[in-house]
């Protein structure tokens, strides 16, 4: 399957958000920023959560891992937690 959506990570910095759920359990969300090329004049900045135990992505060019896509309970195509694969370009 051809699925090359280019993403550029410019920094390995990770934002950490901690809190306590309504159930009283502590949680931690680690987010990283990147730029996605949606075919417009300029890439769009977005942020995504890192999987638990996943190191930050190093600066560089990536593509969205097709395994992030799934069909939801309504039969619609959906995007799950972002994972990136090396490759792609921001040209």
Domain ranges of the chain: 6-86
Confidence of residue 4 (pLDDT cuts 50, 70, 90): confident
Number of residues assigned to the chain = 91
Residue 45 has pLDDT above 60, yes or no: yes
Give the pLDDT confidence score for residue 90 in this predicted structure: 54
Confidence of residue 30 (pLDDT cuts 50, 70, 90): very high
φ/ψ of residue 35, rounded to 5: -125, 135
**67: alpha, beta or left, given left = phi > 0 and alpha = psi -120 to 50?**
alpha
Give the pLDDT confidence score for residue 46 in this predicted structure: 96
Q: Hey, what CATH class is 6-86 in?
A: mainly beta
Whether the predicted model's global pTM rises above the 0.75 cut: yes
pLDDT tens digits for range 62-74 = 999 999 999 999 9
């Amino acid at each position: 399957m051809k699925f090359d959506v280019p993403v550029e990570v410019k920094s390995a910095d990770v934002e950490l958000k901690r809190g306590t759920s309504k159930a009283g359990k502590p949680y931690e969300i680690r987010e990283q920023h990147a730029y996605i090329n949606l075919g417009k004049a300029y890439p769009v900045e977005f942020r995504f959560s890192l999987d638990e135990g996943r190191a930050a992505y190093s600066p560089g060019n990536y593509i969205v891992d097709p395994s992030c896509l799934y069909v939801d309970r309504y039969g619609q195509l959906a995007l799950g937690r972002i994972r990136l694969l090396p490759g792609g370009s921001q040209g």
